Structure formats: C-alpha cells, structure tokens
Amino acid sequence: MNVKGKHYRTIWPTGDGHGVEIIDQRFLPHEFKIEVLRDVDQVATAIRDMWVRGAPLIGATAAYGVAIAMLSDPSDAHLDLVWHKLHDTRPTAINLRWALDDLRQHLRPVPMRARAAQAFARARAIADEDVELNKAIGRHGLEIIKGIAARKKPGERINILTHCNAGWLATVDVGTATAPIYAAHDAGLPIHVYVDETRPRNQGAQLTAWELAGHGVPHTLIVDNAGGHLMQHGRVDMVIVGTDRTTANGDVCNKIGTYLKALAAKDNGVPFYVGLPSPTIDWTVRDGVAEIPIEERADAEVSYVQGLDAAGKVSRVRISPLQTTAGNPAFDVTPARLVTGLITERGVAEASAAGLRKLFPA
C-alpha cells in the first residue's frame, strides 16, 4: 500500500539486520509513526498491546521476534523460551502459533552459529509468502464481485460491508478481506464499502477507513449495529470479513460482532464471505465455539475511546461511569452454516470439512 505516494509494508527488517521496523497502529489514522523493535520483549509488547494486529501480521511479527532473539542467544533452551513468550501474547490468532512452530522446526537442525541468519531469512520468506497469498485471495474474490456486477445495471454501485480491519494493516501487505475490494476498485468496478466502526478498538473507523481513503475507494463509516438495517433494505450486495482462526470444518473466529453480521446476512439472503490465507486454518480444531480460546482483553478498551481533541491532539477519554466495569471478549465464532464461502489463495471453498479438503487435500 502507499502512504502519501510511498509504498510501505507493515513490517520490514532494519538496515543493519538486527531488528525490524513496524507501522505503529496505535496512533492511526491521525498520526503515522514507525517504531523500531530490537529485542524479543519489545516484539511481545508490540503484539500484546496491538502496535501490530491482524492474524497474518502477528504471525510475521512473531517470526521476526524469534530471529531477533537468536541474535543474543541461539540455544535450544532460548528458542523454546521465546516460543512460549511470544505464543502467550495473543491466544486466539492461529497464525501466531503457526509461525512460531515453523521457525522452531526450521531452526532445530541448524547449527547455533547460523541460526540468527537462517531465522531472519525464514521470517522474510514468511512475510513475502503472506503478500503472495493475499494477492491470490484478491484474484479469486474479484471473480465473485464481477459476478455481482454482471447482475446489475451497467455502472450500478456494488455495495460491500466489512467488519473490523482485515486489510493491508492486518497483514504484511494487500490484506485478506480487502484484497478483492482493492482488486475490484483497480479493475474499474464501481465499488462502495460500508465500514463497521468495530467497537471497542474501532479498527474499522481508524484503520479500514484510513486504508480505503488512501487507496481512493468510496466508503461510508457506519456504527456496528447499522449493518442489519442496511441488509434489510437491500443496500448490501455482499459481506466480506477476515478471520483470526478457521476450523477444519469451516467455523470462523473473527473480531467480536462478526457473528451478528453473519446472522443478519443469512436472514436477508446476503452472501457472507471470509477471506483467509491457509495459515489461518487450524486443522486440529473442528468445533470453533467449543474449542477456540477467546481472548478477554482489558475493560479499559471498552470504557475509553481515543481520538482527536479540540486542539487537534490525540487524546483518550472515558465514556462510562468510574464505578462501571466492562467485559471485553475480543472475538466470536461464526458457525460454518452461516458462511457462503471461504476465499483462499487456492480458490473459493465451501465452508465445510469437505470443501476445505477439496482445496487442501494434504
């Protein structure tokens, strides 16, 4: 993606090869800041406190975290310690565990003197692979959008609703749910996106809207509870969201509120699609509701909001009474029966065990 005419990924190695640079997403859309991470504790903080977020980006960041850790101590004991330190930061997103397992397996047979270099090379490969997977998701999703366009009058607007941020900022580049949107826009299709604000952290309002504006995609910000109303009145042609973990049976775990959008889509005959790269599939889990751990985050995320104050500075204000506590489950699970299709790098799969096995027989 481009920011004021310059291309950026969300994460990249430092020039000296001893760390990584990231776009610090805590300050978007009002401030664009780049942070340098040079030790594994910083990487763990960046993941836990959501300087970086989104399942694919979390995985890539964890991979670089392992590489940074190998610079100071390449031993097996330290490798295991780092695996646990980073794994404990965000329990729901499966890409985190996938990347950590990949790095540990890759490094075990490597002589300790060569581990840091090998780890950085593997982390770069994971980042590059993420970009290519997302581009492929965009190509397959574009065909779905073209199908919708073909049923409309020439030039008639195609309305897509999305939830949270599954865009460039949630990946290394391009995005998952946004990949088909960008592909359609770049192909000249009249795309318009309804952007859920996505409480409590407002990733839709602060990140997705900022991305779409930067790419020139027409969009409208809506409150989370407006989606069902729009669907009832025929103003949404399709819903497309991302996922932090998808089960072997096609259940989808995504940002809290996704399940409600799927229910509304089902009730109104609106197709509900999920964009996901294959590392987001957890082949060890079948029942998403029963088996996926749902991260409970701090109640302050619900009690406070961040934005620009009257002086034009980023500030944080409380919106609830001081004596009121808040619950903050970060994700929910949408059962496969509510999902029209899973848009992967290999094509569009039916949201079922058979549908996923057809595309991923191994």
% helix, strand, coil for the chain, step of 5: 45, 20, 35
Residue 351: name the closest of 341, 360, 359, 361 by CA.
341
| Distance, CA of 197 to CA of 217 (rounded, Å) | 17
**Tokens standing for 220?**
């409208």
Is residue 184 within 8 A of residue 142, CB to CB? The reply is: yes
**DSSP of 22-77:** EEEGGGTTT--EEEEE-SHHHHHHHHHTTSS-SHHHHHHHHHHHHHHHHHH--SHH
Q: Catalytic: which of 244, 251, 282, 332?
A: 244
Q: Measured between alpha carbons, how far apart are the two ends of the chain, in Å?
A: 33
**DSSP of 132-169:** HHHHHHHHHHHHHHHHHHHTS-TTPPEEEEE-S--SGG
Angle at 118 between CA 127 and CA 88, to 5 degrees: 60
Write the CB contacts of 130 (distance below 8 Å, at least 6 apart in sequence).
Answer: 56, 57, 59, 60, 171, 172, 173, 277
**Tokens standing for 70?**
């190998």
Is residue 211 within 8 A of residue 167, CB to CB? The reply is: yes
Check if 128 is active-site.
Answer: no
Residue 53: name the closest of 16, 83, 100, 90 by CA.
90
Strands (E) located in the chain: 2-3, 6-7, 11-13, 20-24, 33-37, 158-162, 191-196, 219-222, 238-241, 245-247, 252-255, 272-275, 281-282, 304-308, 314-318, 331-334, 341-344, 347-349
Which residues are marked as active site?
Answer: 244
